[in-house]
Amino acid sequence: MRRSNLALVLRHLRDAGPRSRARIAVETGLNKGTVSSLVAELVERGLAREGAIERDGAVGRPAQSVELDGRRIGGIGVEINVDYLTVLVLDLRNSVVVEYRVALDVQALSAAAVLDSVTELAVRALGECARLGMTPIGMTLAVPALVDVDAGVVAFAPNLHWRQVEVVRGVIDRLSARTGVRPAFPIKVDNDANLAALGEYAMGGIAGASDLVYLTGETGVGGGVIVGGRLLRGAEGFSGEVGHIPLDQSGHDCGCGRRGCWETMVGLAGLFRMAAEGNDPVRDPSLDLDQRLDMVRGRAEAGETRTLDALARVGTALGLGASVLVNVFNPRALVLGGYFASLGAYLLGPVMRELRARVMAPDVGGCRVELSRLGFTAAARGGAHVAFESVLDDPTVVAVPSPAR
Amino acid sequence: MRRSNLALVLRHLRDAGPRSRARIAVETGLNKGTVSSLVAELVERGLAREGAIERDGAVGRPAQSVELDGRRIGGIGVEINVDYLTVLVLDLRNSVVVEYRVALDVQALSAAAVLDSVTELAVRALGECARLGMTPIGMTLAVPALVDVDAGVVAFAPNLHWRQVEVVRGVIDRLSARTGVRPAFPIKVDNDANLAALGEYAMGGIAGASDLVYLTGETGVGGGVIVGGRLLRGAEGFSGEVGHIPLDQSGHDCGCGRRGCWETMVGLAGLFRMAAEGNDPVRDPSLDLDQRLDMVRGRAEAGETRTLDALARVGTALGLGASVLVNVFNPRALVLGGYFASLGAYLLGPVMRELRARVMAPDVGGCRVELSRLGFTAAARGGAHVAFESVLDDPTVVAVPSPAR
DNA sequence: CTTAGTTTGTTCATTCAACGGACAAACTTC
DNA sequence: GAAGTTTGTCCGTTGAATGAACAAACTAAG
């Protein structure tokens, strides 16, 4: 009971912002005295603090504002992707406190070597946390893969060439070896699109939309879905496989062995194929992906017809597939991430046109289409954020600091 | 606190079956004394009762079994479909207590006339409840339509030719007029496939599978999805629109104005088109649907090639579309209802073949495919069942009967 | 047949935490 | 300067879960 009311007040403080005890009492339906006691405990645990005195000219005694104190605890998010690692620490207010990003050719390295690098960055981040007086409360790794979340194992990551990698155990062992103690916080792995969807939900442009579909354009198409404020995982954790919807039987061959899968139409390979001839540097697989994308963007900005045409076709195909998801989920928002976001200016028009034409519910079912503003940090942010769920559900997991010496 | 623990014990009793107080205490983590007190209150409210004394040869004092007492309260489910009405009363243990079914050409009648008939049947069902000493606890109407659940309004029901029908208000007004008092229980409307999905979840062959996709084959294809034990509704309640996934651009024209929608391939019209020539009675729209379906089944049983071929093609198309949903949701079960269930013997093979070929997760993601055993009562059962959710969430909504005179 | 051991379910004193009301503090308004 | 308002704390009351003790109803062993 105490726990759930502590959680209630803490969540309210986070969602509604700083406010007086009296106002919290009215808004949560709790008693004033109860709120005082709960706030005192939250302050003691370093999760809340008193802010300014609101002397705003209203009659009566001025209110002593109470606000979220994020600085005492940190959530750590790690993203392992094809050519980079990101480690990022968030405070309870979702501000980025620490961010490291290093280029790493993950495909060329063994999983063990990659986890070594991850550990390296994590140790640096933990050191920085300690310096700032932050207690790390949890760490989540985002991987573009089918992930067995409960076991902490990456089952299959085609783009990393990983199969059955015990990520959680690997990281725990390495951190223990490096620091001499087992990490005191929980460590998890999850699919990158899932975590990015959570990141968008928690701190993106449409934060708080409790039903949203996140699509990320990379080599393939990744999907993450929030339903009723909770991440859709499915019975075995394999949900969100949207890339292989068969939308064009006469289309191109897909890596999955079939024909005309959605990702052959809207994945990066599809874009490059449509945008340029075979000998064009845009289609040179030895070049850096970002570089090739930049070339596409440059040509589009210059008004090159073929490029614009390719983008329009990708946009139409994106809208076609998105309409399926919008019909099925009726989300409040559709968030486009990955390269869909960086080339969004050219895709949004066709996407909206398709959605308007194909979504059965009136006015696209009230669904807004947004470009991700979190860019490539969405997954790491989502990962860092999940650590806070445990605190938001039960604030007593944050220990009361031992009395001053 | 009291409420949530009452709910905890009641749910446990329903899900786990009859058992002693001591066992409930162990299994719920509550104190023995607390459980005694909670059970006493549940008995007082007529939701539980003492059963047999379990003298099963074990050492120690024999256990006094406690079981769910469903008989005191009833949930009412109504299904309004193209050519029939069903009204059905369920007790808390999901047994059918009363069931009425009448043929009604809903398309030919005004919405007002249909609601009159619904009221007629509901009054009969309420009378029967009273005779059995049952208190009606809620009533839900299932309609094949886009429904605004919060407003209690059918927004659009193409097959009934309804648009913006205030169903809930209409039924409340008519019941009030007929009985002289406003109904004391909440009345709701919802989409039929949604309610059927809930019915399958609560009492179908795979009851308790907290992630399931329900597909019903009728004129079109209806979809209902349970995610994490809760019905997927979407931001505006328009989720589950699966019939218009564009799977065959070269296909037939769809009523929605586009081409090659999934339901042109697997809806009844598609089946009849593939199974017979234009002048065949199977394609005579003036005949009864059930009759035409019986003809198809008869020919299939007789081994007629063209019919079997058509069923195989429908099965393949069904599996193709289902693979999209299984990839997106990764459900524990896919339940086929409507005509998919009655002709399931001929569809299951091709469906499974497609799923195995197209679902990315290993072994179809652990998804079982089941034919609905609730048949055409699934939606009404689901509707009757939703009334119990409020009791299961807060058992105090069932009043303590006033002391004996 | 008696005694010991086990399990069930109730009773009761204790404890935890929310609630309602009283009240002091700190303001504005008249 | 008095009256009115709003905030936040204090404190006695209340509702409900807990733990321990205990009676009841059995089995098992000698």
Instruction: Tell me whether residue A288 is exposed, middle or buried, using C-beta atoms within 10 angstroms of its C-beta: 0 to 12, 13 to 18, 19 or more.
Output: exposed
The arithmetic mean of pLDDT across residues A76-91, rounded, is: 94
Predicted TM-score (pTM) of this structure? 0.91
pLDDT in tens, B6-51: 999 999 999 999 999 999 999 999 999 999 999 999 999 999 999 8
Cβ within 8 Å, pair A360-B320: no
Distance from the B238 Cα atom to the nearest Cα atom in chain A, whole angstroms: 6
**pLDDT bucket at B207, cuts 50 / 70 / 90:** confident
pLDDT in tens, B147-170: 999 999 999 888 899 999 999 999
The least confident of A169-178, A262-271, B52-61 is B52-61
B83 has pLDDT over 90: no
The arithmetic mean of pLDDT across residues B263-290, rounded, is: 90
More confident residue, A351 or B387: A351
For residues B206 and A201, is the Cβ–Cβ distance under 8 A? no
Q: Using alpha carbons only, what angle is made at residue B284 by residues B282 and B289, rounded to the nearest 5 degrees? A: 70
pLDDT computed for residue B402 by the predictor? 63
Cβ within 8 Å, pair A235-B367: yes
What percentage of chain B has pLDDT greater than the value 70? 99
B403 has pLDDT over 70: no
Which three-class secondary structure state does DSSP give residue A278?
A: coil
The arithmetic mean of pLDDT across residues B169-173, rounded, is: 97
What tokens appear for A380 in the block? 């790491």
pLDDT computed for residue A386 by the predictor? 94
Q: Return mean pLDDT, chain B.
A: 92
Best A239, A248, A249, A320 member to test B by mutation, with max B CBs in 10 Å, is A239
Rounded distance between C-alpha atoms, residue A368 and residue A359, angstroms:
12
Rounded distance between C-alpha atoms, residue B267 and residue B249, angstroms:
16
pLDDT in tens, A84-123: 999 999 999 999 999 999 999 998 999 999 999 999 999 9
Q: Which of B223, B235, B366 sits opposite A235 (nearest CB)?
A: B366
A225 has pLDDT over 70: yes
**What's the half-sphere exposure (Cβ side, CA atoms, 13 Å) at B39?**
26
In terms of Cα–Cα distance, which of A102, A15, A369, A75 is closest to A195? A75
Q: Which of A228, A328, A332 sits opposite B230 (nearest CB)?
A: A228
B123 has pLDDT over 60: yes
The arithmetic mean of pLDDT across residues B303-321, rounded, is: 96
Strand D closer than 7 Å to the CB of B278? no
Rounded distance between C-alpha atoms, residue A197 and residue B172, angstroms:
42
CB atoms within 10 A of CB A395: 24
pLDDT computed for residue B59 by the predictor? 83
CB atoms within 10 A of CB A237: 21
A57 has pLDDT over 80: no
B366 vs A contacts (CB less than 8 Å): 235-236
**pLDDT bucket at B404, cuts 50 / 70 / 90:** very low
The arithmetic mean of pLDDT across residues A259-274, rounded, is: 92
Q: Using alpha carbons only, what angle is made at residue B224 by residues B222 and B227, rounded to the nearest 5 degrees? A: 160
Instruction: State the DSSP H helix or E strand holding residue A381, giving kind and residue range, or none if neither.
Output: helix A378-393
For residues A221 and A263, is the Cβ–Cβ distance under 8 A? yes
B405 has pLDDT over 80: no
The arithmetic mean of pLDDT across residues A369-396, rounded, is: 94
Q: Which residue type occupies A38?
A: L
For residues A305 and A337, is the Cβ–Cβ distance under 8 A? no
Q: Return mean pLDDT, chain A.
A: 92
The arithmetic mean of pLDDT across residues B117-145, rounded, is: 95
More confident residue, B271 or A55: B271
SS3 labels along B265-301: HHCHHHHHHHHCCCCCHHHCCCCCHHHHHHHHHHHHH
CB atoms within 10 A of CB A169: 14
Instruction: State the DSSP H helix or E strand holding residue B225, giving kind and residue range, or none if neither.
Output: strand B221-227
Nucleotides of C under 7 A from a protein CB: 5-12, 16-22, 24-29
pLDDT computed for residue A295 by the predictor? 94
Residue-by-residue DSSP string for B98-158: EEEEEE--GGGS-HHHHHHHHHHHHHHHHHHHHHTTPEEEEEEEEESSEEETTTTEEEEET
Whether the CB of A331 is below 8 Å from some CB of chain B: the reply is yes
pLDDT computed for residue A7 by the predictor? 95
CB atoms within 10 A of CB B88: 24
A403 has pLDDT over 60: no
pLDDT computed for residue A375 by the predictor? 84
Rounded distance between C-alpha atoms, residue B292 and residue B167, angstroms:
31
Strand D closer than 7 Å to the CB of B40? no
pLDDT computed for residue A288 by the predictor? 83
pLDDT in tens, B319-368: 999 999 999 999 999 999 999 999 999 999 999 999 999 998 889 999 99
Query: Which strand ranges, in their side-by-side order, compose the sheet holding B146-148?
Result: B146-148, B153-157, B162-165
More confident residue, B373 or B259: B373
What tokens appear for B4 in the block? 């949530």
Strand D closer than 7 Å to the CB of B5? yes
- % helix, strand, coil for chain B, step of 5: 45, 25, 30
With a CB-CB cutoff of 8 Å, which residues 196-235 of chain B face chain A? Answer: 209-211, 223, 225, 227-228, 230, 232-235
Distance from the B57 Cα atom to the nearest Cα atom in chain A, whole angstroms: 40
Instruction: Tell me whether residue A178 is exposed, middle or buried, using C-beta atoms within 10 angstroms of its C-beta: 0 to 12, 13 to 18, 19 or more.
Output: middle
**pLDDT bucket at A404, cuts 50 / 70 / 90:** very low
A211 has pLDDT over 90: yes
Rounded distance between C-alpha atoms, residue A118 and residue A128, angstroms:
15
pLDDT computed for residue B274 by the predictor? 94
Q: Which of B211, B246, B258 sits opposite A234 (nearest CB)?
A: B211
What percentage of chain A has pLDDT greater than the value 70? 99
A244 vs B contacts (CB less than 8 Å): 327, 358, 360
Rounded distance between C-alpha atoms, residue B141 and residue B188, angstroms:
6
pLDDT computed for residue B286 by the predictor? 85
**pLDDT bucket at A250, cuts 50 / 70 / 90:** confident
A356 has pLDDT over 70: yes
Angle between helices B111-131 and B167-179 (to 10 degrees): 50
**pLDDT bucket at A402, cuts 50 / 70 / 90:** low
The arithmetic mean of pLDDT across residues B51-60, rounded, is: 81
Q: Using alpha carbons only, what angle is made at residue B96 by residues B93 and B102, rounded to the nearest 5 degrees? A: 155
The arithmetic mean of pLDDT across residues A295-314, rounded, is: 96
Tell me how far CA of residue B332 lies from CA of A132, B231, B232, B353, B381, in angstroms.
45, 14, 15, 18, 21
Instruction: Tell me the β-bridge partners of B39.
Output: none
